A = this chain, B = another copy of it.
Amino acid sequence: MMRDRFLRAARGAATDTTPVWLMRQAGRYMPEYRALRREHPMKDVIRNPQLAVEVTLQPLRRFDLDAAILFSDLLVPIWGMGEDFELVEGRGPVLTRELDAPALASLPAIDLAKLEFTFTAVRALRSALDRPLIGFTGGPFTFASYLIEGKPSRDYPKTRAFLHAHPAAWSALMTRLADNLADYLRAQIEAGAQAVQVFDSWAGVLSAADFQAHVRPALSRMLTRVGDTVPRIYFSTGSAHLYAAIATLPVEVIGVDWRVSLRTAAALLGDGGAPGADARTRRNAPRTRILQGNLDPVLLLGSEDDLWAAADAIVDEGRHIGGHIFNLGHGVLPETNPDRVRALIERVHERGGRSAR
């Protein structure tokens, strides 16, 4: 029988305990992942469904997680748009050729046939798993920032400058990415993904005004096109100043980073009737607001006392905000001890069960 705690919580239903999964739950902190990566470069792991499935399943063999998330990379859908990228260790994905404004403005519609390896992996995972599988992709802004910036950056000035220097190209790019990334998620859903997460990790570098005017419309278009057949999760970091606008997005779950408490996030997100939201947006926004997060991943590297105090507080807060899925506030760090991860997951389940609704 499928363990559906995560999906029930994502829909706002009661659960026996707090569900938990972790961003980057598959990754360098696990010896079996490092062993596999010594044999296979990252690109092969992503493009070979057998390897992608193996890596996705590694953390589920070790830990009592409530969901799996497809192992892939944020830039993968660019292969369906006629471009290529390299994965540079410690630097992230980098486009093989630079795209100028005209090229960015005329990205083609996505060719899903070129991404068949993803859907094959999703189908294989769905039949192998006894718990929900989460599909994912990037948000239009974060995806665009990889295309425009060309290197890792603290606050993506090139992307923010592009948006103002080339407004027509930006608008065309956002619309195209909204549709392409939505279609990529829909194909994952058709292949068996039971929830989807949009990683808009860099959205927090934007001013509230720019997010509202130049990014939110594309994001809303994308999420509407994905539809509500499965729960949609929107994750961003450093974005408390955007929560009034994020609150009006058509998503079921909002991923909160480590910077603010769940309680503060819930207050900032309000009921989706934030200032600036028009009546139509408010109507489209789901009534229940489920939060996902938000233990600071660095706490897994510190003292047990600090870790358990923070984890317990998050589980307890989560019981008072309408609905909660436990996660980290960002990905598991490579230095993390897997035993700590196991203990964390057990503790969340134990404590969440004590106060279960």
Q: Interface of A with B (CB < 8 Å)?
A: 152-155, 157, 160-161, 163-165, 167, 204-210, 237-238, 240-241, 258-261, 264, 296-299, 301-303, 306, 329-330, 333, 335
Contacts and interface: CB of A to CB of B under 8 A. Distances in A.
Contacts of A207: 258-261, 296, 329
B258 A298 contact: no
Number of copies: 2
Given A164-B303, A208-B259, A260-B241, A154 B157 contact: no
Contact of A241 (B152, B155, B259, B299): B259
A208 B240 CA distance: 11
Closest 9 CB pairs of A and B: A164-B302, A161-B298, A240-B241, A160-B298, A161-B301, A165-B302, A241-B260, A238-B238, A241-B259
Contacts of A165: 301-303
A66 to B, nearest CB: 24
B241 A208 contact: no
16 contacts: A152-B154, A153-B154, A155-B237, A155-B238, A160-B296, A161-B298, A161-B335, A163-B302, A164-B298, A167-B302, A167-B303, A204-B259, A208-B259, A208-B260, A209-B261, A210-B296
Contacts of A208: 259-261, 264
A258 B152 CA distance: 20
Nearest to A302: B164
Contacts of A167: 302-303
Given A164-B302, A165-B301, 13 more contacts: A152-B154, A153-B154, A154-B154, A157-B297, A161-B301, A167-B303, A205-B238, A207-B259, A208-B259, A209-B261, A240-B241, A241-B259, A241-B264
A309 to B, nearest CB: 10
B298 A206 contact: no
Contacts of A297: 157
Most B CB atoms within 10 A — which of A153, A210, A258, A259? A259
Contact of A164 (B155, B238, B240, B301): B301
Contacts of A258: 207
Nearest to A240: B241
B330 A155 contact: yes
A207 B263 CA distance: 13
Nearest to A167: B303
A259 B163 CA distance: 15
A335 B157 CA distance: 11
Contacts of A204: 238, 259
